[in-house]
Structure 1
Amino acid sequence: MRFISSQFGGASFSCLTLFVLLLLHFCHIVSIVGQKSDGALTVVENPDGGERVGGAEEEVTVDDDDDDDEGDLEVVQPTEQWQTLKPSHAVPAGSRVRLNLQTGEREVRLGDEQLKYWTQEHREKEETQSSFSPDELKRAMKKIKEDLNPASKDTQRQDSVESKYRPLEELKRDMAQLDLLVETDVQIMRRLLDQFNSSNSTTEQKMSILLELEYLVHQVDNAQSLCSMGGLQFILEGLNSSDFRLQESSAFVLGSALASNPVVQVKAVESGALQTLLTTLATAQPLRVKKKVLFAVASLLRHFPYAQRHFLSHGGLQVLSDLFREDGGGILRKRIVTMLYDMISEKELISQVGLDSVLDAAHQERVRQYSKVSLQGELFEKGWCSLVPQLLESTEHDYREKALRALLAMAPVCLDQYRSNGSLLDSLLSLRDQYQEMVQSEITLGEENGYFAEIVQLIDALHVKMK
């Protein structure tokens, strides 16, 4: 019995001891789990599958289930680089945290899922956006306002142009130091006139001077300046020269200066240029001289009724009639007929516009001056009703066109002579048949209203008037 009791007591004591030890161990585990430890980390496997250098760090992942009972912690925004964590720092869920075993400090960076969206393009964009300072933004806004302001653009463009070019006076000073001379057109013309009037100038030099003057007087101001400095007298002296080359060049300069320049036209008439030109046409001259003189006469008479009246009173039509009969080639005939047609047309145009009673006083004065030019009557008296039809005999289409237009313009005073001129009617019928074939060729080529069709219309219009 004692043996059994002894045995039973020993076994009871051993079980009790084991139970107490297990209870103490469980309580210890519970106390450990219940405590919040800053160093509690979850060890993860190295994703590279290799050993770390020195085995000095371990990584953990912070989950959404972690306790966040300390509201006063400072939240750190992780990046793709490892950052050191202080005990007072907290990190967002999904971040990766590791314990650096060498330094004993915790470090954090973005988690794997977060790194997927942290691309190189995203980083560059954020760096660019964050690189603008307030001053740079102000300058950019100011630049936008300036671009939207046209006045500012014009000012900047003008300043840019002015910065590229230097003033003329400054250039003159610099060139004077380089022994260079900048001449204006007026200075050039004055120098040319002095050389032209010099007794040492040869004929070739004078012809070269006249050529340069002809180029300059195409500008209205230059032509007027040439007259004011006495250049018109030198040109008229060249017309009276015995050298045909100087006559031709002088007439060319005069015609260019007179073209569409009323101031020069008035001064030319006052200087006796019209008489000089008519005298040159009436005397024996080479064809090239007469062509240039006719050009000067046409420039003087165009849109200038005062000069036209003097032209008629000084026998201008008679001079042209003689010249028309002498010309065998037709080049002078065409120019004469064209000039007469222009004079008739501009007078009719002025007269038609003059029917308006609200026109200004200047235009009414022009109408009054044109009324004193009896060009149509002079043409009838000088025999032009039979002279102009002779130009239809030319083989040149341009010559025929000019003749038809002049015949139509002269029809009010020459119609009776047209009807009595049998050769004129025959010429019109022959020309119509000829040009009608040419019109068909134009239509075949796709030109319904071509040049030859226009000539046919002129022939038909004249033929209707003669019926």
Structure 2
Amino acid sequence: MRFISSQFGGASFSCLTLFVLLLLHFCHIVSIVGQKSDGALTVVENPDGGERVGGAEEEVTVDDDDDDDDDEGDLEVVQPTEQWQTLKPSHAVPAGSRVRLNLQTGEREVRLGDEQLKYWTQEHREKEETQSSFSPDELKRAMKKIKEDLNPASKDTQRQDSVESKYRPLEELKRDMAQLDLLVETDVQIMRRLLDQFNSSNSTTEQKMSILLELEYLVHQVDNAQSLCSMGGLQFILEGLNSSDFRLQESSAFVLGSALASNPVVQVKAVESGALQTLLTTLATAQPLRVKKKVLFAVASLLRHFPYAQRHFLSHGGLQVLSDLFREDRGGILRKRIVTMLYDMISEKELISQVGLDSVLDAAHQERVRQYSKVSLQGELFEKGWCSLVPQLLESTEHDYREKALRALLAMAPVCLDQYRSNGSLLDSLLSLRDQYQEMVQSEITLGEENGYFAEIVQLIDALHVKMK
């Protein structure tokens, strides 16, 4: 009985021992499974917002607080990349890195974290590598460029070489021009050549008209007009005025008027050459309208701001020639030009007389005042019947013609006022015109123009009407 009991006691001890071993082994297995058992399924959060299932690895992002090895100063820090690399037990990783346990190999692996990957892209690294890498040849060229920039003499040489490459040498240009037989003419040389051609017996009328057209363009310059007179060109132009060809007369008068405009030197030489008598003779004879228009232009250019010529104009019957021309003209174009010229002459004398009241004036101005005092234009206008001629221009339908007539009538009022008052048709015309232009003024005001052109005409009518009362 005792033997049997001992056998049963040994068997119980063996079973107990086996049970304890199995329990320890189970606890060990449970602890392994708590980390990650081989072949277990894990759920990893998808960055896109979903979930994905993996079977052999787990990924963990290492934070600053998770680094348990900070107190171990002998650990080697590994710099991660965008590719997974194996971690040894003695390795440490920077914060923000992504660490995983490869359950197939049982080794830890590391790579850059998601935030780091946003910056360390392949394109960014290639760009930095490109910017930070220089070949030896590039470094040599850069050093050479720095030395050249610091050398002023080198800069001047390069600038000179650049200029020389753009332009040809002067000697080469002269040689090429000599080979081409080119001739560069001044304005004076051109005018001399044109005058020689104009005076040539072989020149046709068309050629002479072309020459006069070129001369008219040149004489707009004051110096050219004076040079033309000094080389005898004025005489050729006056001969063109005496031509039997109307086209040459028109072109010659055009050239003469352009040369006389605002050029006192040419004005004096023209009077001395007898241009005034030639122009008046041309106006007094039967000529086409286009010729008389250009001749009137030349006469106005000759008389403007030239009291000496104005006095000769009056003494040679100029006003009588103009009055005959005024009566013959039915279209009004010549009438307007004549009235405008007379108004300018009256205004010049009045302006000079008003300025002459100042005692502090130079001798030249005092001489002009003296010369204008000898021009008795107002008295001549009264004697030649212009007090009754100018009002006829008010009958025109053109606003410009009426304006010129009203201004001339106001300018002649000191000598013509009695005749204005005795002229019943003039008063009727003024009243009719005032009513007509008052309606136009209302239209201007409606359009936002309070002081328009028609309002100015109404002011002229009112001013003349007040003088006549």
What TM-score results when the alignment is normalised by the length of structure 2?
0.69
Which residue in the other structure is 1:394 paired with?
396
More moved, 260-269 vs 438-447: 438-447
The separation in 2 between residues aligned to 1:365 and 1:132, in whole angstroms, is 87
Q: Are the aligned partners of 1:41 and 1:60 in contact in 2 as well (CA < 8 Å)?
A: no
Change in CA separation of 1:360 and 1:117 when aligned onto 2, cut-off 3 Å: farther
Q: CA deviation at 1:250?
A: 0.2
Q: CA deviation at 1:68?
A: 3.1
The separation in 1 between residues aligned to 2:467 and 2:156, in whole angstroms, is 62
Change in CA separation of 1:18 and 1:168 when aligned onto 2, cut-off 3 Å: same
Q: Are the aligned partners of 1:42 and 1:60 in contact in 2 as well (CA < 8 Å)?
A: no
Secondary structure (helix, strand or coil) at the match of 1:166 reads: coil
CA-to-partner distance for each residue in 1:291-313, whole Å, 9 max, x for gaps?
11110111122233343333334
Q: CA deviation at 1:416?
A: 2.4
Change in CA separation of 1:303 and 1:150 when aligned onto 2, cut-off 3 Å: farther
After superposition, the CA RMSD in angstroms is 7.4
Q: CA deviation at 1:225?
A: 3.9
The separation in 1 between residues aligned to 2:164 and 2:225, in whole angstroms, is 31
CA-to-partner distance for each residue in 1:168-217, whole Å, 9 max, x for gaps?
99878756655666555444333322211111101111012112222333
The separation in 1 between residues aligned to 2:137 and 2:446, in whole angstroms, is 75
Q: Are the aligned partners of 2:284 and 2:321 in contact in 1 as well (CA < 8 Å)?
A: yes
Q: CA deviation at 1:351?
A: 3.7
More moved, 291-300 vs 77-86: 77-86
Which residue in the other structure is 2:409 paired with?
407
CA-to-partner distance for each residue in 1:355-410, whole Å, 9 max, x for gaps?
55666776565545444433223323333223322333444443332221101011
Q: Are the aligned partners of 2:237 and 2:252 in contact in 1 as well (CA < 8 Å)?
A: yes
Change in CA separation of 1:338 and 1:155 when aligned onto 2, cut-off 3 Å: farther
Change in CA separation of 1:376 and 1:19 when aligned onto 2, cut-off 3 Å: same
More moved, 226-235 vs 404-413: 226-235
Q: Does 1:280 align with 2:300?
A: no
CA-to-partner distance for each residue in 1:82-136, whole Å, 9 max, x for gaps?
6899999854123246899999999853123433565689779978987999999
The separation in 2 between residues aligned to 1:165 and 1:25, in whole angstroms, is 100
Which residue in the other structure is 1:191 paired with?
193
Change in CA separation of 1:431 and 1:111 when aligned onto 2, cut-off 3 Å: closer
CA-to-partner distance for each residue in 1:226-246, whole Å, 9 max, x for gaps?
334432222122112232221
Secondary structure (helix, strand or coil) at the match of 2:42 reads: coil
Which residue in the other structure is 1:134 paired with?
136
Change in CA separation of 1:138 and 1:187 when aligned onto 2, cut-off 3 Å: farther
Change in CA separation of 1:448 and 1:144 when aligned onto 2, cut-off 3 Å: farther
Change in CA separation of 1:388 and 1:146 when aligned onto 2, cut-off 3 Å: farther
Q: Are the aligned partners of 1:42 and 1:59 in contact in 2 as well (CA < 8 Å)?
A: no
Q: CA deviation at 1:327?
A: 3.2
Change in CA separation of 1:414 and 1:130 when aligned onto 2, cut-off 3 Å: farther
More moved, 179-188 vs 53-62: 53-62
Q: CA deviation at 1:258?
A: 2.1
Q: Are the aligned partners of 1:435 and 1:453 in contact in 2 as well (CA < 8 Å)?
A: yes
Gaps of 5+ in 2: none
More moved, 101-110 vs 416-425: 101-110
Q: CA deviation at 1:272?
A: 3.1
Gaps of 5+ in 1: none
Q: Are the aligned partners of 2:280 and 2:318 in contact in 1 as well (CA < 8 Å)?
A: yes
CA-to-partner distance for each residue in 1:263-311, whole Å, 9 max, x for gaps?
4334333433223222322333333222111101111222333433333
Taking the TM superposition and a 5 Å limit, the aligned residue runs for 1:13-28 are: none
Count of aligned pairs = 467
The separation in 2 between residues aligned to 1:248 and 1:342, in whole angstroms, is 24
Q: Are the aligned partners of 2:42 and 2:53 in contact in 1 as well (CA < 8 Å)?
A: no
Q: Are the aligned partners of 2:44 and 2:51 in contact in 1 as well (CA < 8 Å)?
A: no
Q: 1:91 aligns with which of 90, 93, 98?
A: 93
More moved, 284-293 vs 146-155: 146-155
Which residue in the other structure is 1:374 paired with?
376
Change in CA separation of 1:223 and 1:80 when aligned onto 2, cut-off 3 Å: farther
Secondary structure (helix, strand or coil) at the match of 2:101 reads: strand
Q: Are the aligned partners of 2:69 and 2:92 in contact in 1 as well (CA < 8 Å)?
A: no
Q: 1:202 aligns with which of 191, 200, 204?
A: 204
Q: CA deviation at 1:7?
A: 8.7
Q: CA deviation at 1:412?
A: 1.5
The separation in 2 between residues aligned to 1:124 and 1:149, in whole angstroms, is 36
Which residue in the other structure is 2:76 paired with?
74
Secondary structure (helix, strand or coil) at the match of 2:100 reads: strand
More moved, 295-304 vs 184-193: 184-193
More moved, 24-33 vs 230-239: 24-33
Q: CA deviation at 1:253?
A: 1.1
More moved, 12-21 vs 296-305: 12-21
Taking the TM superposition and a 5 Å limit, the aligned residue runs for 1:54-453 are: 64-69=66-71, 71=73, 78-80=80-82, 91-96=93-98, 109-116=111-118, 177=179, 183-355=185-357, 366-436=368-438, 439=441, 449-453=451-455
More moved, 63-72 vs 255-264: 63-72
Change in CA separation of 1:262 and 1:117 when aligned onto 2, cut-off 3 Å: same
Q: Are the aligned partners of 1:57 and 1:101 in contact in 2 as well (CA < 8 Å)?
A: yes
More moved, 20-29 vs 376-385: 20-29
The separation in 1 between residues aligned to 2:155 and 2:382, in whole angstroms, is 66
Change in CA separation of 1:83 and 1:15 when aligned onto 2, cut-off 3 Å: closer
Secondary structure (helix, strand or coil) at the match of 2:251 reads: helix
More moved, 127-136 vs 258-267: 127-136
Identity %: 100
CA-to-partner distance for each residue in 1:32-57, whole Å, 9 max, x for gaps?
99999999999999999999999999
Q: Are the aligned partners of 1:64 and 1:94 in contact in 2 as well (CA < 8 Å)?
A: no
Q: Are the aligned partners of 1:442 and 1:450 in contact in 2 as well (CA < 8 Å)?
A: yes
Q: Are the aligned partners of 1:207 and 1:249 in contact in 2 as well (CA < 8 Å)?
A: yes
Secondary structure (helix, strand or coil) at the match of 1:389 reads: helix
Change in CA separation of 1:306 and 1:92 when aligned onto 2, cut-off 3 Å: farther
Change in CA separation of 1:421 and 1:231 when aligned onto 2, cut-off 3 Å: same
More moved, 438-447 vs 48-57: 48-57
Which residue in the other structure is 2:10 paired with?
10
Secondary structure (helix, strand or coil) at the match of 1:232 reads: helix
Change in CA separation of 1:162 and 1:102 when aligned onto 2, cut-off 3 Å: farther
